[in-house]
Amino acid sequence: MYWETVWDTVRYNEHIYGIVRAMSTKVFIYNKDLLEKHNLEVPKNWDELLDAAKTIHDPENGVYGIAMAGQKFISTVTQFQHYLYANGGKIIDEEGNVVINDPKAIRALDFYKELSSYAQPAIIEWRREDLIKLFETGKVGFYLDHVHNALAAMEKGVNVGLFKFPGGPDSDLPYSTVIVTDSMAISAQSKNKELATEFINYMTTLEKQTEWDLTLGFVPPMKKEAELPEFQTWYWKPYIEVIQYGYPEAVDIKDWEAVQQVILDAIHSVLLDVSEPKQALDNAARIITILQQ
């Protein structure tokens, strides 16, 4: 019923621990008018994305190449993970080793810092959830977000385009996304397992899942659902196409809340010029290794 990358979000040590109920992927939302004004093509790789953001960036007139999050909040981690995974990096590898400080990850954070030079002021004060308001002004070239905010920007009159997050220079994949899911599970201590199972089976029928996703603007986790006419519009297409290239937000991590804070500290130290990417990620790797023990 689901893509393998969707199952990966609820898999730990080769066991499935839940059924996905809500799912999101993210792609770049861009302002077509700003690209046309500067005779820019839609970026196909990281170099083109950086060049386009630099070209559009005009802070004296309140125009920014890209909107980025930097506040100490989970969505900042998720945003950075797009760059990390897009360059073939990971937090933990398949053997359980902490690899957030390998060359692919360092290059991703280095690019993240470089790209932030063409973002809005005071990046560390911004949560990703608030960036839609900035993009809706029509004065931002690019930003990474959900499909429902792409639609919100269109309703505000922005000439919106979409493109999948391009793979980085060290990646074997052409695109990437972080797959974030909310899932349903039944506690081993439940006194009503049969009723709970019946409820989950009902809520995850094709009909109910489709109703849920269309009402709330979630990306369909079911293959057959994605084939329905309602999901064939141009703005759904990239969010669905990128599922096959997705990677879970917190795969094989024992204490995700603690690891989030460690990664946030690393991102902050780089954005504030306290540490270089390698130093920041080396320190993060040491702490995450302890947390994984």
**pLDDT average, residue stretch 122-143:** 95
pLDDT higher than threshold 90 for residue 252:
no
SS3 label, residue 126:
coil
pLDDT for residue 45? 98
The structure's pTM equals 0.94
Sign (positive or negative) of CA dihedral 186, 192, 193, 196: negative
**Averaged pLDDT of the chain:** 96
Name the band, by pLDDT with cuts 50, 70 and 90, for residue 215: very high
Q: Calculate the alpha carbon distances from 36 to 31, 131, 239 in Å.
A: 9, 22, 23
- The H or E element spanning position 162 is strand 160-163
pLDDT for residue 12? 85
The fraction of the chain above a pLDDT of 90, given in percent, is 94
pLDDT for residue 94? 87
pLDDT for residue 183? 95
Name the band, by pLDDT with cuts 50, 70 and 90, for residue 202: very high
Q: Could you say which DSSP state residue 219 is in?
A: P
Pairing relation of β-strands 175-184 and 19-24?
antiparallel
pLDDT higher than threshold 90 for residue 266:
yes
pLDDT tens-digit series, residues 50-105 = 999 999 999 999 999 999 999 988 899 999 999 999 999 999 998 889 999 999 99
pLDDT higher than threshold 90 for residue 238:
yes
**Domains of the chain, CATH where assigned:** 1-282 (3.40.190.10)
pLDDT for residue 131? 96
Which residues have CB under 8 Å from 29's CB, separation 6+?
A: 135, 142, 143, 144, 145, 149, 150, 153, 160, 161, 162
**pLDDT average, residue stretch 236-257:** 93
pLDDT for residue 54? 98
**pLDDT average, residue stretch 250-278:** 94
Cα–Cα distance between 214 and 226 in angstroms, integer? Answer: 11
**Helix, strand and coil percent figures for the chain, each rounded to 5:** 50, 15, 35
pLDDT for residue 72? 86
Cα–Cα distance between 16 and 48 in angstroms, integer? Answer: 39
Among 232, 242, 208, 256, CA closest to 24: 242
